[in-house]
Amino acid sequence: MNRLFFYLLFLLSISLHSCITYIDKELDIKPKLVLHCYLVPQLDTTILHLTNSAPLFTNNPRKIEPVANATVEISDNNNQWVKLEYNSEHEIYFIPQAQFPINEGKTYYIRASAPGFETVSASCAVPYLREVNLDFVVEEHGSDAHEPYPHFHGYLRWIDYPGEENYYMFFDKSRMIYDYWTYTDTASWYSWWLLWDADGNPCIYSDKGQDGKKMSVLMMLGYPDIYEVTLFQTDRNCYLHEKSIIDYDSDLQSFMLEPIHLYSNIRNGYGVFGAFVMRDYVFEIDVE
Amino acid sequence: MKRKILFLLCILPYCLFAQQKHTLSGYIYEKGSMESLPAVTIYLPDYNAAASSNSYGFYSITYSATDSVTVIYSYMGFAVDTVRLASVPNLSFNKLMDRTIKLRTVSVSAEKKSTEVAQMSTHTISALEIKSIPMLFGEKDLFKTLILMPGVSSGTEGTSGIFVRGGTPDQNLIILDEATIYNASHLLGFFSIFNGNAIKSAELIKGGFPARYGGRLSSVIDVTMKEGNKQTYHGEGGVGILSGHFMVEGPIVKNKSSFMVSGRRTWFDLLMRPVMAAIQPDFSAGYYFYDLNAKLNYDFGDKNKLYVSGYFGRDKFSMTHKTDDWEYKSKYTAGLYWQNGLAAIRWNHMFFNKLFSNLSFIFSDYKMNIFQIHNTQFNGFKNQLTYDFTSGIRDYTLKYDMTYIPNSMNTILMGVLVTYHEARPNAVQLNDDGRKFKNTTLAPGLEYALYLEDQINIKNKLRINPGFRLNFFSVPQKTYVAPEPRLSISYNLRKDLAMKASYAMMNQYMLLLSPTTVGLPTDLWVPVTKNIRPQRSQQVALGLVYEPKKTMMTFSVEGYYKKMDHIIAYLPGASFLNDLSDAMGGNFNETGNLDWDSKVTTGQAWAYGVEFLARKSMGKFTGWVAYTLSWAQQQFDELNYGKKFWARYDRRHDVSIVLMYSPTKRINLSLSWVYATGNALTLPTESYQIQSISNILERYGQMQSGDQDTHTWFMYAENFGTKNDFRMEAFHHLDIAVQFIKPHKKNKRFESIFEVSVYNVYNHKNPFMYMVMSAGYTQEKLVRRLAKITIFPIIPSFTYSFRF
C-alpha cells in the first residue's frame, strides 16, 4: 500500500509539474530612431525630440534615452537642408523661426541620422489657418439630488472649411508658474492640454462626411464667467497620431482586444512629423 | 405490303410503351431497434442501377419492368443483404438490416460509398467511433473526433471550437435534427454540447455543399439524434472524472412509436462545495454544465411519420463572497451562464413512391447572461445593486423539403425555408437602490431561401449534382438577395477509382462578434445591417478517391481553394466590452446600445491546401491517417497597415493518426497521435517613448522660458510587429485508451465497460497560450520575457459505463 501511494504521488507530481515555461526568444530586431516634431507657424522655435526604441525579447536590453549625437536636418524643398542644434539641458533639437521660417501651406521635410541607426525621414504640409466661425453657446444643465447646484454646459460650434480635408482639436491653455519639482516660482510658460467633451471623448475631429457642414461638441462647464479654448487645425499626421495615442491608452487595453498600432509617418523609424496652426478664443459667458 | 407497313406503324408506339417501368420503394431500418438508416446503397446488378436512402431511411429506384428483381442492400457496419423480389409496377418493400457483431467483423462485397456519390469533402462519423477514440479526461466528444479529420483543426489545445479549411468557428453550420446551434461549446470550449450517447450519426461537409444547405461559409456539421428503439428498452450510463451521463430508449407503441432521453452533468462542483465551505466559509465558487436530449417519433404508416426532438443545455459559473465586519455587512454574488434550447417537429409524408416530403417547424434559442447582486448593510442602512446583462438569439424556422425520384438517373431535391432571427445583442437591467434602468436592443432579420438540386447518375460512371439556392435576407432598411450556384461532379475512372470536383458559393448573414485573440461565450451573434454586408465565400475543390476492393480501405487526396469576402474583425482597440464596462459601472448616461457596426471593419481572406486521408473502416483493426498542408491569410484595410497577414489559426501542417484494435469481443484498444503547427500570434517587438502634442509643447514652453525644469510627462508604448508574424510552438500528443467489456454474470443483456485512458502519454508541454511577462528593469533597461502557458500535462483517466 505504501508503495502504491508513492507511485501515485510520483505520477501526480509529473502531472502537476510547472505549467509556465519561459522561452528565450531572440527576435533580432535592431533599435530605431523615434522622432517627434510638430511645425507650428505661431511658435517662434521649432523643436524636435529624438530617442531610440528598445527591442524586446533580446539578450541585450537597451535603455530608452535621448539620442544626442544625431544629425537632424530640415528642408522646405527636399534639396537644401538646414541643421538643427541640440539643447542638452532640455534634450531636444531646435531651430528658431528666424533661421528657418514655417509658413502655412508649405511642405517640409525632415531627416535624422545617428551612428548605429538607420536614417529616418518624413514630410508634412502645414495647414492654412482657416476661418471657421467658432462660437460657444451655453445652456443650463440643471441640478439633481447628486448635484444640487445649477451648472452649465455649452456647445462649441464651428463650420468646416469646405473643399479640403480638415482636422480639428481643442486644447485648454494653461500657464505654468510654479515648479513643483523645485518648489520655486519660475519663469512662466504656457502649456496646452487636450480637452475632453461632456461624453468623455477626446476633442479630436475630422471633417470626413461633414465637409462644409456645421460641427459641434458639448462641453461641461461648471459655473464660469469666461470660457477659453485654443483651436488647433492640424494635418492628417497629427490627427492620426493623437487618436492612436488615446486609443492605445484606453483602460481596456488588454489581451482581449485587437493590438493598436500607433500611427507613424517616419520612414525607418517611429514617431510623427506633423504640423498644425492654432488660434486662441475667449468667450464671455452670461448665465443670468 | 402497304397493309403490313401500316400495321407495324400502328403497333410501334405500343412496342415502345411496352418498355414499362417498375418502381421499388420503401424504408430501411436497423433490425432490432427499427432506427431508420440513411445513405444505405440499394443496387440492382441486373440493371447496373443504384440509389441510396435519404436521411429518413426512405429510398426509391425505378427500373425496366420484369418478373423479378435482385436487390443488394449494403451499408457500412451492416451485413450485405441480397434479396430477390417478385416485381410489380409499384413495389413497396421495407428492409431490415442486420448490424454485424461489434461492428468490426464484416466483409463488404458491394460497391463502396465514396466512389458512388458525386459529393466530396465529406466525412461521416459514427457513434461508435466517437465512443472509442481516447479523449481528454475520458470525455468522449464529437468535435474532438472531427478535429482528427483532414482539413479540420482546433483553435488551441483542449478547446472544441473548430476551424475548417481556413474558416472560423462561426462559419460552421451546426445543426442537430435540423435545428441550428449557435454556441456548441461547454466549459469555454473544452467540450461540445453533443452527448455521444444521444447521437446516431454526424456528417461533416467541408466543400461542394449541396444546395439544401446555406447560411454559413466553411462547413456543415449535420448531427442526427437517435430515434429510440421501437422494439425493446435499452439504456446506457456512466461516470468519469468530470461528468456522469445516461441514455434510455424504448418503444411507446411497439414497432410504431419510440422515445429516447439522455442527459449529462458535471459533478465536480458538487464534490468541491463542502470542501470549499470548510476551507473558506465566506467565499464559494462553482462551475457546472448539463445537457438534456429527448426525442419522440410516431409512425402513422409508410406514408406519414412524425418526429419531435428537443435539446436543452446550460453552463453556469458563479461566485459568492460575504463580508461581516462589525457594522458593515455585504454579500456579493456574480456569475455568468449560457444556454442552448432547441425544439423541432418534423412530419414526413410520402405522396407516392417517387415523391417524399418533409415539413419542419424548428425553434432555436441561445442566451448568455452576466449577473451581479451586491447587498450591503452599514449602520442599519441597506443598499442593493443588481445588474443583469443578457445577449442571445432566437430563431423560428419553417421549412419544406421534397425529394422526387423520377427514374434511376435522377433524384431531384427542392425546398423552401423561412427563418425569423430575433437577435438581442444586449439587454441591460440595472437597479441601484431604487434607481432603475432598462434597455434592450433588438436586431431582427428575416431569412428565406429556395433551392433546387438534381443528383444525376449516368450509368454509375458519371455523377453530377448541380444545384441552385436563392437566398433573401431582410434587415431594417435593407434586403440582400444572393444567388448561390453549386456543383459537384464525380467520374469513375475505374470501379474503385473516382475523380471528383466541386464548386460552391455560400453567403453568411449571421455574424459572430469575437475579440480576435480568444473565443468566449460572451461573443455576440448579430445579423448583417445596411452598413455591413453578408460574408461570402467561393470554394473549388478537386480530388481523387481510391477504394480497392476487398481491402475495406479508402485513400483520398483533395485540394481546395477558398476565397472569402466581407469578413469582419474588430477595429483596433474596439470591443463590445467597452459598452459592457460602462453599463456594468451603473453609468445611466450610457444606454448600453452596442452600435457594433461602427466598431468593425471588413476585409477578405484566402484559404487553400491539400488533404490526404487513408482510412480503414471495418475489421478488427480500424482507423485512419490524415495529413493536411494548408495556408490561411487575411487582409483588412484598417488592420496591419492594410497588408496581408496570416490568420491566427493558419496551420501549415496537421497530422492525425487514429488506430483502434479489438483483439477480442471484450477488449478494445485505441490510440491517437496528433501533430500541428502552432497558431500565429502578434507579439510586441519594441518599446519606445511617445510624445503627444501636449508633451512637445510643454518642452517648448520650458525651453523658451529658460526654466530649469526639464521634466515632462510622457508615455511608453510597445510596437506590435506584423500581425500574426510569430508562431507558437507546434503541439503534439499521444493518447491511449483500453476498454474492458464485462457482461453481467446473470443478466447477459447488462454489460459494464471499464475504460482506462491516458492523455498526453509522453507529457509534452503543449502551448495553450503565450503571455508577455515583465521582468522589470535592469539598469533602466526594460526586460521582457515570453512565457508559454501549458495546461494539460499527462492526465490519466478512468471511466465506468454500462449498457443494457
CB contact under 8 A, B573 and A271: no
CB contact under 8 A, A261 and B572: yes
Residues B104 and B130 in one domain: no
CB contact under 8 A, B703 and A90: yes
What would the grid cell of residue B544 be?
Answer: 481523387
Residues A99 and A203 in one domain: no
Domain of residue B340: give its range. 122-681
What would the grid cell of residue B294 be?
Answer: 429527448
Residues A237 and A182 in one domain: yes
Q: Which residue of B has its CA nearest to A145?
A: B435
Residue B742 lies in a domain: no
Residues A174 and A46 in one domain: no
Q: Which residue of B has its CA nearest to A263?
A: B641
Contacts of A9 in chain B (CB under 8 A): none
Residue B761 lies in a domain: no
In angstroms, rounded to a whole number, what is the distance separating the alpha carbons of residues B203 and B691? 57
- DSSP result, B174-205: EEETTEE-S--EEGGGTEES--GGGEEEEEEE
Element of type H or E holding B314:
strand B304-325
Q: What is the ipTM of this complex?
A: 0.88
Helix H, strand E, coil C: the string for A190-218 is EEEEECECCCCCECEEECCCCCCCEEEEE
Which residue blocks in B662-761 are alpha helix, DSSP H? 693-705
Q: Given A125, A157, A179, which residue is the final one in a domain?
A: A125
CB contact under 8 A, A64 and B683: no
Residue B300 lies in a domain: yes
Burial of B244 (0-12, 13-18, 19+ CB in 10 A): middle
Q: Between the CA atoms of B375, B376, B381 and B386, what dihedral angle is there, to the nearest 10 degrees? A: -40
What would the pLDDT profile of B317-329 be if each residue is shown by its tens digit? 888 898 888 788 8
Cell numbers 456645421: residue? A214
Residue B797 lies in a domain: no
Residue B790 lies in a domain: no
Residues A63 and A144 in one domain: no
> Contact, B156 vs B188, CB < 8 A?
no
What would the grid cell of residue B293 be?
Answer: 436530449
Q: What is the CATH number of the domain that holds B57?
A: 2.60.40.1120
Which residue among B574, B577, B717 places its CB closest to the CB of A262? Answer: B717
Residues B234 and B97 in one domain: no
Residues A113 and A144 in one domain: no
Residues A151 and A233 in one domain: yes
Residue B13 lies in a domain: no
Instruction: Give the best residue of A257, A270, A272 to mutate against chain B (max B CB count within 10 A).
Output: A257
In angstroms, rounded to a whole number, what is the distance separating the alpha carbons of residues B360 and B417? 9
CB contact under 8 A, A43 and B700: yes
CA distance A157 to chain B (A): 23
Position B6 scores a pLDDT of 63
Q: Name residue B68's beta-bridge partners.
A: B86
Q: Which residue of B has its CA nearest to A173?
A: B694
Contacts of A253 in chain B (CB under 8 A): 573
Which residue among A16, A56, A182 places its CB closest to the CB of B684? Answer: A56
Position A146 scores a pLDDT of 56
Number of domains in chain B: 2
Q: Which residue of A has its CA nearest to B590?
A: A199
Nearest CA to B183 out of B582, B525, B676 is that of B525
CA distance A219 to chain B (A): 15
Contacts of B719 in chain A (CB under 8 A): 53, 261-262, 270
CB contact under 8 A, A258 and B573: yes
Residues A253 and A179 in one domain: yes
CB contact under 8 A, A191 and B697: yes
Position A15 scores a pLDDT of 47
Residues B658 and B536 in one domain: yes
Residue B283 lies in a domain: yes
Task: End-to-end CA distance of chain B: give it in Å, rounded.
Answer: 79
Residues A164 and A238 in one domain: yes
Number of domains in chain A: 2
Residue pairs spanning A and B at CB distance below 8 A: 226
CB contact under 8 A, B708 and A186: yes
What would the grid cell of residue B646 be?
Answer: 496570416
Q: Which segments in chain A show pLDDT lower than 70?
A: 1-18, 141-151, 176-188, 222-224, 250-258, 287-288
Q: Would you mind telling me the total number of residues written for chain A in this entry?
A: 288
Residues B218 and B103 in one domain: no
CB contact under 8 A, A20 and B789: yes
> Contact, B683 vs B720, CB < 8 A?
yes
Contacts of A258 in chain B (CB under 8 A): 515-516, 569-574, 639
Q: Which segments in chain B show pLDDT lower than 50?
A: 13-18, 101-112, 583-592
Sheet of A151-159: strands edge to edge? Answer: A135-142, A151-159, A214-222
Which residue among A44, A186, A257 places its CB closest to the CB of B575? Answer: A257
CB contact under 8 A, A186 and B716: no
Residues A46 and A111 in one domain: yes
CB contact under 8 A, B719 and A262: yes
CB contact under 8 A, B784 and A56: yes
CB contact under 8 A, B719 and A260: no
In angstroms, rounded to a whole number, what is the distance separating the alpha carbons of residues B202 and B706? 78
Residues A44 and A140 in one domain: no
Q: Which residue of A has its CA nearest to B712?
A: A90
Residue A157 lies in a domain: yes
Residues 6+ apart with CB under 8 A from B26: B58, B59, B92, B93, B94, B95, B302
Q: Name residue B308's beta-bridge partners.
A: B296, B345
What would the grid cell of residue B245 be?
Answer: 451521463
Residues B106 and B136 in one domain: no
Domain of residue A199: give its range. 135-262+276-284
Residues A249 and A183 in one domain: yes
Backbone angles phi, psi at A140, to 5 degrees: -80, 135
Backbone angles phi, psi at A171, to 5 degrees: -125, 155
CA distance A135 to chain B (A): 24
What would the grid cell of residue B265 be?
Answer: 452533468
Which residue among A55, A186, A260 places its CB closest to the CB of B573? Answer: A260
Residues A47 and A107 in one domain: yes
